[in-house]
Structure 1
Amino acid sequence: MKKIIVTGNVGRDPESRYDASGAMFVTFSLAVNTGSKANQKTDWLEISCNGKTAELVQTYVRKGKKLLIEGTPAASAYINKEGNAVATLRVYANNVEFLSNERGDDTGMDNNYDSAPSEPAGFNAPGVQEKSPGFNAPGPSLKSDDIPF
């Protein structure tokens, strides 16, 4: 089993796309900083999600927001238009948690959304699966209609 949990800032606004069956999925970049302040390095990850999570990300996530992403990593390599070899790490998000409203805002938001593994068709995935969206918070179970936004 492969699993990755990362926190970082959204590098570009989410882009909606559709797979062969017409199901929507969303992709965006996430900047993840590692190392000390003096030797800080930024790794860029491509994040992909589908289903209800994709709808929420498309609506509420913008460049600069701080997120926690939990999902399945997949590495790939290709030759870009300029003829250079490029390696990428894509994370198929199972869980997206909104940590702040904007970069530098540490007040946090306790919004936590789950979706099924989001490996959309067209990315060598067998198909798109979706389970009921969840709202992970202590207390009674909430339905998506109960979420205030």
Structure 2
Amino acid sequence: MNKVILMGRLTRDPDVRYSQGNNGEQMAIARYTLAVDRRFNRNGDQSADFINCVAFGKTAEFAEKYFHQGIKIAITGRIQTGSYTNKDGNKVYTTDVVIEEQEFAESKAASQSSGYQPAGRPEPGNASTDGFMNIPDGIEDDLPFK
């Protein structure tokens, strides 16, 4: 069984690109890196692993729309390895987590109280006082779940 469950923070905004799918439609591909804290360490220092993740289709579009640097998310997926030859002729081996599910792991209020504030992103003005965001009308068509 190849199953991965991770929780961590995005190290940067997702890199989203579009390519032609088999049916001729454009398909989104999102790549991002999760900083996942290590549970145990030797010297008491905080340490993390940086895990490369890739999402396809509606999952990638969701990441593009709602994820940004510093946000804490939980993901499930599978490990995929590969290799390619770089421009210098050296073989490079890759390991990615292919995302099957992704979700927020903390509220917007919690991420702001932890000291993280994304630069250049205006406040949407639709957060309620209880820390939850009010969902705008008509967004149901854009959500990857129902």
**Alignment TM-score, normalising by the size of structure 2:** 0.61
Deviation at 1:43, TM superposition (A): 1.1
Which segments of 5 or more consecutive residues in structure 1 lack a partner in the other structure? 110-131, 135-142, 144-149
Q: Provide the secondary structure at the position in 2 that maps to 1:44.
A: strand
- Alignment RMSD (CA, Å): 3.1
- Return the letter of the residue paired with 1:32: V
In structure 2, relative to structure 1, the CA distance for the partners of 1:80 and 1:7 (3 Å cut) is farther
Which has the larger share of helix?
Answer: 2
Deviation at 1:85, TM superposition (A): 7.6
Say whether the 8 Å CA contact 1:48–1:93 is kept in structure 2: yes
Aligned residues: 112
Question: Highest CA radius of gyration, 1 or 2?
Answer: 2
Say whether the 8 Å CA contact 1:45–1:88 is kept in structure 2: no
Identity %: 33
Q: Give yes or no for the alignment of 1:32 onto 2:39.
A: no
Which segments of 5 or more consecutive residues in structure 2 lack a partner in the other structure? 116-129, 133-142
In structure 2, relative to structure 1, the CA distance for the partners of 1:14 and 1:34 (3 Å cut) is same
Q: Could you tell me which of 66, 69, 74 is aligned with 1:60?
A: 66
Structure 1 CA distance for aligned equivalents of residues 81 and 46 of structure 2: 23
In structure 2, relative to structure 1, the CA distance for the partners of 1:86 and 1:34 (3 Å cut) is farther
**Alignment TM-score, normalising by the size of structure 1:** 0.60
Q: Deviations over 1:101-120 (max 9, x none)?
A: 33738x997xxxxxxxxxxx
Question: What is aligned with 2:6?
Answer: 6
